[in-house]
Structure 1
Amino acid sequence: MTSVRRWLLAGLLVLVPLAITLGVLNWIVATLDQTLLILPQSWHPDKLLGFHIPGFGVLLMLAIVLLMGAITSNFLGKQLVVWGNALLSRIPIVRSIYSSVKQVSDTLFSENGNAFRKALLVQWPREGVWTIGFLTGMPGGDVVNHLPGDYLSVYVPTTPNPTGGYFVMLKKSECVELKMSV
C-alpha cells in the first residue's frame, strides 16, 4: 500500500504543476485572442481562414507592442508619452494606479538592464543580521546630494509575499555581491 501511496503522491507532484501551468497558458492565449475583437469583423482570422487558430491574439499583441515601441522611440513619440504621463498624473485614482505600475515597469524593463539582475548580501534590518537583497540601481535625483559616499539602491523582499518588501539605500562598501542567478 505504501508504494501505491508514494506513486500517487509522485504523480500529483508532476501533474498538478503541469496542469496549472497549461491552464494559465490557455487562459493567457484565450485572453489575448480577445484582442482580435478590436479588428473589423471582415479582418478576423476566423472569417478569412474559415477556422479558428488559437494564438492569433498573441501575434496581434506582439505587433501592437512593437508598433508602440517604434512610435514612442522618436522625438514626437517621446513627447506624446510625456504629455500622456502628465495627463494621467492629474487624475486622482488613475494617478495612484498608473504611477505604481509605471514604477514597477520602469524597474523591470529599465534600459540599463541591471534591475533585479544582481543579488546582494546585506545587513538588514540591523547590523549583524544578514539577508539577500536585489540591486535596483544607484540612488538618483536629490537623494544623491544628501548621501555621503557611494550608495546602492536595494530591494529587500519580505516573507511570505516577496512582492512586498523594503526599498533601501545602503553603503556600497557594506553590500556583498553574490555569484548566484536571479
Structure 2
Amino acid sequence: MLALRKWLLSGLLVIVPLVITLGVLNWIIGTLDQTLWLLPEDWQQWLNVHKVRGLGVLLTLAILLVVGATASNFIGKRLLGWGDAVVRRIPVVRSIYSSVKQVSDTLFSENGNAFRTAVLVQWPRDGVWTIAFVTGAPGGEVLSELGGGDYLSVYVPTTPNPTGGYFVMLRRSDCIELRMSVDDALKYIVSMGVVVPGGPATIANR
C-alpha cells in the first residue's frame, strides 16, 4: 500500500503541472485565435473548416513586430505622436489611456526599474516576512507627506496568485534586497515556499 501511495503521488506530481500547463497554453492559443477576424472572410472560413490552431499566435506576433518596426523609425514616431495627442484630447478616454500608457511604459521600458528587483520586507506586521518587488520610488506630494527621506514603492504579491497584491511604500532601510532573480522570486511565491531558490530546504535543517 505504501508503494502504491508513493507511485500515485509521484504520478500526480508529473501529471498535474503538465495538465495545468497544457490547459493554460490551450486557453492562450484559443484567445489569440480570436484575432483571426482580422483576416479576409474566405481565409477565416478555410481555417474554421480545417480547424487550424495557433495561427492567432503567429498573427499577433506579426502585428506586434510590424507595429514595433513602424514605431522605431522617424515617420512611425511622428504618426504615433500625432495619434497620442489626439487620444489625449478625448474626455474620459484620455484619463484611462494616460494611466495605462504610463504603467506600460514603466513596466516594459528597457531603462525602467519596475519589477527588476526582489526585496524582503516585513508584511503585514513586524516579525512576519515576505517577498516583494520594487516598482519605483514615491515623489511629489506623497513624498512630502511622508516627511521626505529615502522610500521605495513596492508591490507585495499574494500567493499562489501573484497577480493580486498590495502596493505599499516603505523606507529603503526596511527593505532587504535579494540576489535572487525576479523569476526565482515568483516561483518561490507561487509555490508557497515549496520551490526554494538556490536549493531545497527543510524545517529540520534550519
If the length of structure 2 is used for normalisation, what is the TM-score?
Answer: 0.66
Partner of 2:196: none
Q: Deviations over 1:3-35 (max 9, x none)?
A: 122212211221122122112212322332232
2:149 paired with 1:149: yes
Q: Within 1, Cα distance between the matches of 2:178 and 2:158?
A: 19
Q: What does residue range 78-89 of structure 1 map to in structure 2 within 5 Å?
A: 78-84=81-87, 87=90
Q: What does residue range 65-104 of structure 1 map to in structure 2 within 5 Å?
A: 65-72=64-71, 74-84=77-87, 87=90, 90=92
Q: Deviations over 1:67-115 (max 9, x none)?
A: 333445513203313433553x615xxx67x777656645532442422
Change beyond 3 A, Cα 1:102–1:58: same
Q: SS state of the match for residue 133, structure 1?
A: strand
Partner of 2:59: 60
Q: What is the letter of the counterpart of residue 139 of structure 1?
A: P
Change beyond 3 A, Cα 1:6–1:115: same
Partner of 2:15: 15
Q: SS state of the match for residue 131, structure 1?
A: strand
Which runs of 5 or more residues in structure 1 are unaligned? none
Which runs of 5 or more residues in structure 2 are unaligned? 183-206
Q: SS state of the match for residue 3, structure 2?
A: helix
Change beyond 3 A, Cα 1:111–1:119: same
Q: SS state of the match for residue 179, structure 1?
A: coil
Q: What does residue range 35-50 of structure 1 map to in structure 2 within 5 Å?
A: 35-44=35-44, 46=46
Q: Within 2, Cα distance between the matches of 1:160 and 1:28?
A: 20
Aligned partners of 1:118 and 1:134 also within 8 Å: yes
Partner of 1:137: 136
Change beyond 3 A, Cα 1:2–1:174: closer
Q: What is the letter of the counterpart of residue 177 of structure 1?
A: E
Question: How far has the Cα of 1:53 moved from its partner?
Answer: 4.1
RMSD across aligned positions (CA): 3.4
Partner of 2:181: 181
Aligned partners of 1:72 and 1:78 also within 8 Å: no
2:107 paired with 1:108: yes
Q: SS state of the match for residue 116, structure 1?
A: coil
